[in-house]
Amino acid sequence: MTLSDVKGERVFDVIADIIDPITSIALDKEAKKFFERKPAPEGVEPWDFFLQQLRDSLPTLIKSHKHDICKIIATIKGVSVKKYVSEMTLPSLLADLTGLLTDQEFRSFFV
């Protein structure tokens, strides 16, 4: 589920509930590096550059902002953080993170 999937009056609640965790991530210079748009250096393939950025920045984002990430995903899904975390598995987290971090609407908060 992405931010674009949220419809109707629920949009107000989602925005209100994700402002704090998004701001927390956006204020963290190290975590924010993941969202910076940079062209691949000359001689480096774009995919290789993307993977390098992923390797360099994603662990910091995940380790430093576990609660923020869970709050954002849970809110978008319409469940409590407690419920989301209790049902979270490695595959579900990877799928949810991929969906969130590739969501252009979500990424626009950091550009």
CA neighbor of 94 nearest in space, from 69, 71, 76, 60: 69
> Is there a contact between 71 and 77 (Cβ–Cβ < 8 Å)?
no
The pLDDT of 95-100, averaged and rounded, is: 92
pLDDT at 14 (0 to 100): 97
Domain count, the chain: 1
The string of pLDDT tens digits covering residues 17-30 is: 999 999 999 999 88
The string of pLDDT tens digits covering residues 39-88 is: 899 999 988 988 888 888 889 889 999 999 999 999 999 999 999 999 99
* Residue 51, domain extent: 3-110
